[in-house]
Structures are given as structure tokens and as C-alpha cells.
Chain A
Amino acid sequence: MQSFLNFYSRYILNRPIFVILALLGLFSYLGFHARNFRLDASADSLILENDADYKYFREINKTYGTSQYLLMTYKPKGDLFSPETLKNLGSLRDELREIKRVGSVFTILDVPLLRNPPVPIKELMDNIKNLEDPAVDLQLARTELSNSPIYQELIISSDLKMTALVINLADDEESQRIITRRNELRQKKAGNTISSLERSELEQLRIAYRECKIRLDKEKHSDIAAIREIMEGYRQDAELFLGGVSMITDDMITFIRNDIKVFGIGILIFLIVTLGVIFKKVRWVILPILCCALSVLAMIGLLGIFGWEVTVISSNFISLQLIITMALTIHLIVRYRELLVQNPEWSQKDLVKETVVSKFIPCFYTTLTTIAGFSSLLVCDILPVITFGWMMSVGLVVSLIVTFLLFPAILLLFPKGKLGEHREFGGVFTRFLANVTHNYAKTVFISVGIMIVITAFGISRLTVENSFIDYFRKSTEIYQGMKVIDRDMGGTTPLDILVNFQDVKDTSLSNQDTITESDEGFDDEFDEFDEFDEFEEEDDSEKYWFTSDKMALIKKIHDYLENLPEIGKVLSLGTMMKIAEEFNEGQPLDDFQLALLYTQLPDEFKDLVLTPYVSIPDNQARLTVRIKDSLKGLKRDNLLKKIKSDIKNQLGLQENQVHLAGIMVLYNNMLQSLFRSQILTIGFVVAALMVMFTVLFRSVKIALIAIIPNVLSSVAVLGVMGLVGRSLDMMTITIAAISIGIAVDDTIHYIHRFRDEYETDRDYISTMHRCHGSIGNAMYYTSLTIIAGFSILVFSNFIPTILFGLLTGLAMFIAIITALTLLPLLIIVFKPFGR
């Protein structure tokens, strides 16, 4: 380390201009690459790493196809079936169809009405009308739509006051081609059968996919903007909301972009003000801001180069990096000013050199410990959280390098500061805490004891249930649209129930001789099955797949699902069976009718009512349901378990016959992993810090003293969450580890200084007062900056980000209090530096 510091002072501190120029070149290069910086809000960005259910979900999507669509709800001020409303709906639909990438728009006007008027099935095909048909009977249409097992809660609400338009977005051929080929090659890679040529093709596909995705995101954004513009023209007649996964991801990207802008600029402004208030000098504003801004710029450039996409979880990396870089520079400034007071005769070069050299090791360690905090996120299972961990770990290294190169290089160009021009800001606060520590030790310990009890109680009440809708502010269209769809249009979170029918048993024909046995009433020649091999040949024909037994089973599952209060719309073959029964005097179709229906059904109807719900080659049926995500008291994990067990126990299917898939399962897996992730990350960070402290202070005793206040402050946040009834989510689980990682910096600085100061008079109490008066102030400034900085996150539209800001702020507040009370108290009591 010493040789490194020698190198550092010889080559860096002696050549400030050169360092600045070199950094300028580097920043220009990274700034150039910053244009490749991308945001991602797709469903892929919210899943667990290596989730087997995700793999299954992708296979299911391959079998049944996925279509991107948007849902627009339309609630007219007047009657939905009035001629004027229907005319408006028609023109809205026609305008939407004009948008380039809109494949089709399906509305209440287009649905085939089958009972207008009711006719025998033989006359049905000639009798199908829609709402735009001049001969349509609106009253009958109203009745049919209100009872329709397929349309109700799909395109019309049960109170008939609201309708929904399904806007299907056209598939992009290029992306389909890339995904298909990429999946083929990935499979080969997984099976180790990939050639080197294919390996490079896979790499090219990765780049091509990224470019394609960027293009698609842009196109989707402009499509959604166009749709919203069209919607504006209809707002005087109706209440409209736009929903659907495509819109949510697009809006989330807008939110992230907005958050990054607001947080970045907001925190920068806040830092300028804070630095101005604390140090009251232009140089102490410009210098830290330069370090912060350029660290962030360098990081954005690196993200662009590596192709790391920022998700909603990592969207606050800029604010975090700004805050942490600021904390680093504050420590340098405070140290410089101390040195100036103590050694007014020193030259600027000596002051700067001593500042950075004396602060390098503690800052290096504090950065390492903060990295430990962020890298603990790598051990959790949630992909975007892992990426966030990587991103911040790299970001911290960037900040450390930039700060220790840029800060001294620029400061060397400034003249030496004037003596006595500063007065310690916040001295009252640290003095107060020093007195509390000195005079009220018992009170401190009792308070900590009470805090531990309350925290334990709070943690015992922690849950992981959270509704996706509640992630958004009530004022956002995502929230309003999802709420309406959830309540009136059959729920939001999709869940698939896949039912596998028994495969053909491999039965040998060993007793074929019985075939020739002559039975009563049989003609001998009938024993020759070979005469009728036409049946054997046609056994695999798709039309004979639909048997009444299978349909009865699907209907049974369909009805079971429909009766669960948590479930909104259910769509399956059972839906079609219900419609068919209406034409069969309420009786289920027999096997022959089923086969006939299959052969007679036009292809476009098959695509609509069969393809999404059955895979004949897989001997599998699929029931799709939507869960009412905003339902109070919804317990996702229990619901999924209940569905599986009821299908097995009440409906008599075997366990391996039923699979659950879809966003609901993936989302639940993520939620269920939160506890595990929380425990793992805290465990990792505490273990890592213990090791680091032991190495740094060469004492297990000091390491324990150092870790206790930090663990307490971050765990207290979990207790508070439990007490106020907030569930853990993928963002708030990062708080504990991150806040330990950041708060521990203060502890290191404090203990480091305490050890040095202790040597002066070997008196714990007076050392404590001295430390509070010096490093305590730096700790106070940095904590204040961090708390206030995090509070800017409340301007986000994403509720977990707001909570992250507030709760991390709270953790930092508790951390500074414990660092200036409990920590010195533990040092005084246990006397780790000798008596």
C-alpha cells in the first residue's frame, strides 16, 4: 500500500494538469459511449434468475403463441348502446386501425352476435350479426352480451356500462426471426453441441436483438403516444384508460427516464445547496459537484459500453452514486480544512497531499465496505437486483478513482484557503450526542434494548404480499387503468393452468390371439381388423381429440376457477363449450358434435377460440385466468397452492397432470424469494464486513463493536416496515444491505480517528469528545447529505422507489445516531484500544 501511495503522490499529485487532461480525454470517450445507455422495463427485467417456471412459461408461450396487445377501456357518459356512443366507438376503432403497427382492433361492435334473434343451430350461420348490422336488435344484443361467457368481463363490464377495445399490435418479423434462431442456438449451447461459427452467430444475434429491441421500444413508444392522442379526442364523451403489458412497460421506461432526470438534477441542486450551507465557499461546491457529475458520466458511459440496461430497480443508481461520491469528497474537504487549521504554514501541495494520503486508506476501506453492501445483492435470486448490485459495485470503484484523481488535481490549482474563515456547522448536534454518550449511558442502552424489542416485533409482522398496482401512484394512468381493468374487466395478473391428459399407455398386443376368438353373434370375418385400418390411420387426427370426457373435465376446472373470488375472467375450451351448450338445449356436446364442430369451425374462429386453449400434439389444454391483483387480503402463494391441491383432491387429477404458469407464478416466485433474499443479503453483508473490519482493525472485538450499531440501524428499518404494515418488495429488500454498506463508512471513519486520537491522552471519554468534534461533524454532514439526498426519491412515480428513498433515509438517520452514541459507548465500555 505504501508503494502505491508513493507512486500516487509522485505521479498524480505532481502532475495535476496532466491528470486533468488525461481525465478529460477519458470522460470524453465515456461520454461518447453514454449515448448507448439504455433502459429496460420488460417483464424479463422483473424475474428470478434461473427460475424453472420462467423456462416453462417460455415453452408455453412458444406452444400457444404470444400476442402483444393493448386494452383500452371506454366508459361513455350516456348509454353504451346508444347510437351516438356506438358511432363514437366505431370512429375510435377506425382511427386506431390507421396506426401503422396496429394489427387489428377488436371491439364490442365487431363481436359476432349469435342470438339476434335466437334461431335453431341449423340456421345459425346465416343469422350471425354484429352491432353495426342495420338489422340488429339492440335489446337482444344487450341481453346476449350481458350473459355471454366469452365477452363478459373481456370486452364488456358486467354492469354493461363500460366496454374495452382490444388493440392487437402486429408481430415484428425481424424480432421473431432473431428470437427463434437465438433460442435454437442457446439450446445447442446448453447441450454443448454448438460450433464456433454458431457461437459467433449467437453473439451477433445478441447485438442484433438489442438493436431490434431498441427499435421496437421506440416504435412502441410512438404507437402508444399516437393512441393516447386519439384517446384525447374522445374524452369529452367518455372516460378512457389505456392498459396492457405493452403500455405498462413503455410507461415504466418513461418513469425510469423521468426518475433519472428528476433524481439526477434534483440531487445535484440539493448537493449544491447543502455544500453551500455547510462549507459556504464556492470551491467546496464546484469541486465535489465536478467529482460527482463526472463519476456519474463515466458510469453511464461504462453502462453504454457493457450494454447493461437500467431497470426500475437500478433507476436510482445515479442518485446513489452522486450521494456516495459526495460523502467521499466531504470527508476530503473536512480533512483538508482540519489540516489547514492545524498547519497553517503548510503549502497547498502539502495540504492536498496530506489530505488525500491520510484519507485514502479509510476511503478505500469505506468504498470496499459499501461495495460489500451492494455486492451482497448478488447473492439474492432476483435478476434486476443482481444487476443493480453489479452496477453499484462498479459505480463505487469509478467514484473512488475519479474522486482521488480529480479532487486533488483540481484542488492543487486553487490557492490555499484562508485560515479561520470556517466555523464548524452542526457542532451543536455532535456536541449534544457526545454529552448524551458521556452522561446518559444507561439511557442509551435501555433505548437500544427497547428498539431491539420493537424491531423484532415489527420483523415478525413482515410480509411479502404486494400488489403490482400499488407500485404506482394513484395519479398515474398505469394505476387508474389497471384498477379499472382489475375491478370491472376481469382482473389483471395472468395465470395459465395447463392440464395434461394421460398419454397413450404402451400396451403390448401379446394376447392378440384372442382377436381370432369367435364370439357369440360375431361373424368370423369381422375379426380381421386389418380390413379396417382406416381407423388406425386416423387415430391421430386432430378432430377426434375433442372428447366429451376431456371437455367435461376442462369445464369442471373452468367452473372451479370461476368460483374463486380472487379470479376474474376465465377463458378456456370450457368457454366455448358453454356457448355451444346454449345451442344444444343446455346439454353438453357429444363426441360426434365436438368433432363436427372442430371440422366446421372456420380457421379464423379456430385461432380465436381453440388455438390459445389447446395443444393437441401435446395432449394438453390451457385455461387462462386473470387474478384480481388489487383484491384486499389476496395471498398469492396460498392461492396458487390451493388451486393445485384442489384440482388434485377435489377434481381428481394427478399432480403431474396440472401445471401453473404465467406472470402470476413468476411474480409470486419473486415475492416468495424476497425473505430468502433479504436474509441472504444481510447475512452476506454482515459476514463480509466482519471479515473486513477484522482485517482493517486487526481485532475481532473492534469488528463486533463496529458492526452492531450498523446492523441495528438497518434491521430497525425492517421493523418499522413490519410495524406500519408495509410488505417487502424487490426494491425495499435492498435497503438493509445498502444502508449497512453506506452507514458503515461513518463507523470506519470514527473508529479510525478514535484509534489515532486515543494515542494522544489514552483517555476514552476525552477522545470521544474530540472525535465527535472533528470526524463526528464530517459524519454528520455526510449523513445529512445522504438522508436529504435520498428524500428526493419521493418524487418518483414508482412507490417502491419512494419507499426506498424514505426508508434508506431513516436507516441513515438511525445509523448516525447510533454511530455517535452506541458506537462510542461500546468503545468506552469494552475499551478495545487498551486501558
Chain B
Amino acid sequence: MKRISCLLLLFFLLSQAAVADVESEAEEKLKTSVDKVFTVLSDKELTMDQKKIKILEITDSVFGYPLMAKLSLGKKHWSQFNSKQRSEFTNLFTELFQAFYVDKLDIFSDEEIVFHPPIVANEKKVQIPTVLLSKGKKYSMQYKMFKTKNGWRIYDIEIEGVSLIHTYRSQYNHILESGEIEDLLTKMREKKTKNDKDNNSPTESAL
């Protein structure tokens, strides 16, 4: 009995060590990116457009766009896309997501992010809860990360319980359920063209 207990304890300690490793690696990566973004945001010498370009460079290395694109379609719809459509979809998704993300930066001014202890789902998946402090108010934000070949990547962000990927997912579902794959791609292309036209004021929707 004692032996079993010892084994269990050892297993527990070992797993803790492994988890701690996962935790620190992912958290480290996220923290670094967030710090960099905040540094750029608080740089008064840069214009908003310059800030946006810099921030995109930083975030490109932390967002796992291909996975995000795939998850935003879901298993059922993804399986119906051929490889050409998948590739175009992923590219369009990435561009539209970036436009959406940088558009939201306008509202950030003197915010602060507090990191809470990460929750490890398994050795490849971790959720990092944070709190965004803004004007004395607290907003919960959860970063969801997955370990890829290229290291830890964000695959979703939940703000106040609302998942970014899920909002895309329900929208794409709605379009695909009432139309065809090409309808979705056309809408995304149109949105991208509109964003490109607006240029300086990227629009608010990922479509």
C-alpha cells in the first residue's frame, strides 16, 4: 500500500513538473508578446498606423492563424472544403482577423493586463486567464494556447466568456447553412476588398 502511495506521489510530482514546464513556456511566450504590444501602444512617437503594423508583426508569431481558421469552420464544414478552398479560406481568414484585431486597438489607452495562474488541459493545451484593467473596471480575458511544431500559439481568445473563434464559427455556419462554400468565400473576398479600400480604418468584422 505504501509503495502504491509512493508511486502515486512520485507520479504526481513528475506530472506537476511537466505541467509547470508547459505553463511557464506558454505563459512566457504570451507575456512577452503582450508586453511588446503594450510597449508599442504606449509609444507616443508612433502614429496609430505605424503601431498597427508593428503590432501585427508581433502578434503574427503568437497567433496560430491556420488552426484558428480551421476551428472557425468546424469539423463538418472543413471536411467539405477542397484544398484550394481551404488555402484561400485560411488566407482570407488571416487577413480579416488581423484587420479586426488591429481595429480594436484604437480603444486601448492606459489598460493593464494581470496574469493569473494558467490552467493546463494537457501537455499541448493551456488556458491562461488574465484580467484587463481599464478605467477601474476588470474584464476577464482568457488566452487559449496550443503547442504546435513551431511552438506555442494562440488558437482562441475569450473575452468575458465570449470566444472569438466561436463568433466566427457561428457566422460561417449561418452562411454555409443557407448557402454554398463559394458564397462564404465571395463574402470574405468582398470584405477584404472593402477593408483594403478603407485602408486606414480597417473594418470591424472578420467577414
Q: Which residues of A come within 8 Å of B, CB atoms?
A: 120, 122-123, 501-505, 507, 509, 511-512, 514-515, 517, 519-523, 525-526, 529, 531-532, 535-536, 538-539, 541, 543-545, 547-550, 584, 587-596, 599-600
Contact = CB atoms under 8 A, between A and B. Distances in A.
Interface in B150-202: 150, 155, 159-171, 173-175, 177-178
Nearest to A515: B79
A455 B204 CA distance: 67
Contacts of A535: 71, 74, 163, 165-166, 169
Given A541-B166, A543-B162, A591-B168, A529 B90 contact: no
10 contacts: A507-B80, A515-B78, A525-B149, A526-B67, A526-B70, A539-B170, A544-B167, A548-B207, A584-B204, A591-B206
Given A505-B177, A584-B204, A587-B203, A596 B66 contact: no
Contact of A590 (B76, B87, B175, B204): B204
B170 A545 contact: yes
A738 to B, nearest CB: 54
A122 B205 contact: no
A122 B107 contact: yes
B149 A523 contact: yes
A595 B70 CA distance: 20
Contact of A525 (B148, B173, B206): B148
> Which 3 A-B residue pairs are closest in the complex by CB-CB distance?
A544-B170, A591-B167, A590-B205
Contact of A591 (B74, B83, B137, B170): B170
B75 to A, nearest CB: 4
B188 to A, nearest CB: 12
Contact of A502 (B80, B86, B155, B178): B178
Contacts of B178: 501-502
A16 to B, nearest CB: 82
B70 to A, nearest CB: 6
B135 interface: yes
Nearest to A120: B107
A502 B183 CA distance: 15
A122 B90 CA distance: 33
Contact of A503 (B149, B168, B177): B177
B135 A123 contact: yes
Nearest to B203: A587
Interface residues of B, number: 51
A592 B162 contact: yes
A545 B167 CA distance: 9
Contacts of B174: 501-502, 547, 549-550
B171 A548 contact: yes
A424 to B, nearest CB: 82
A535 B77 CA distance: 13
Contacts of A544: 166-167, 169-170
Contacts of A545: 170
B138 interface: no
A638 to B, nearest CB: 30
Contacts of B38: none
A532 B168 CA distance: 15
A511 B82 CA distance: 11
A595 B167 contact: yes
Contacts of B75: 509, 512, 515, 529, 536
A512 B206 contact: no
B125 interface: yes
Interface in B83-133: 83, 86-87, 90, 100, 107, 124-125
A504 B162 CA distance: 22
B134 interface: yes
B80 A523 contact: no
Contacts of B171: 547-549, 591
A572 B178 CA distance: 22
Nearest to B163: A538
Contact of A532 (B71, B149, B161): B71
Contacts of A503: 177
Given A512-B79, A535-B71, A549-B175, A526 B170 contact: no
Contacts of A531: 124-125, 146
Contact of B159 (A536, A550, A590, A596): A596
Contacts of A592: 100, 159, 162, 164, 167
B160 to A, nearest CB: 6
B99 to A, nearest CB: 11
Interface string B39-65: 000000000000000000000000010
Nearest to A518: B83
A620 B206 CA distance: 24
Contact of B83 (A519, A529, A543): A519
A593 B204 CA distance: 9
B134 A519 contact: no
A577 to B, nearest CB: 13
B204 A538 contact: no
Q: Most A CB atoms within 10 A — which of B66, B171, B177?
A: B171
Contacts of B86: 519
Nearest to A503: B177
Q: Most A CB atoms within 10 A — which of B149, B164, B170?
A: B170
Given A509-B76, A511-B79, A535-B71, 6 more contacts: A519-B86, A522-B66, A535-B74, A541-B166, A547-B167, A592-B100
Given A505-B177, A509-B79, A515-B79, A596 B204 contact: no
Nearest to A597: B162
A175 B52 CA distance: 61
Contacts of A590: 100, 167, 204-206
Nearest to B149: A523
A593 B205 CA distance: 9
B204 A587 contact: yes
A587 B203 CA distance: 9
B35 to A, nearest CB: 23
A180 B9 CA distance: 59
A588 B203 CA distance: 10
Contacts of A593: 204
A536 B124 CA distance: 19
Q: Most A CB atoms within 10 A — which of B124, B149, B173, B174?
A: B174
Q: Most B CB atoms within 10 A — which of A123, A503, A543, A545?
A: A543
Nearest to B134: A122
A760 B97 CA distance: 107
A424 B73 CA distance: 96
A548 B173 CA distance: 12
Contact of A536 (B66, B67, B74): B74
Contacts of B82: 514
A600 B159 CA distance: 11
A507 B76 contact: yes
A525 B70 CA distance: 12
Contacts of B165: 535
A697 B135 CA distance: 97
Q: Most B CB atoms within 10 A — which of A515, A525, A549, A596?
A: A549
Given A535-B165, A587-B204, A591-B206, A517 B83 contact: yes
B174 to A, nearest CB: 5
Contact of B166 (A501, A509, A538): A538
A518 to B, nearest CB: 9
Nearest to A532: B71
Contact of B205 (A523, A539, A591): A591
Contacts of B175: 549
Nearest to A594: B167
Contacts of B161: 543, 599
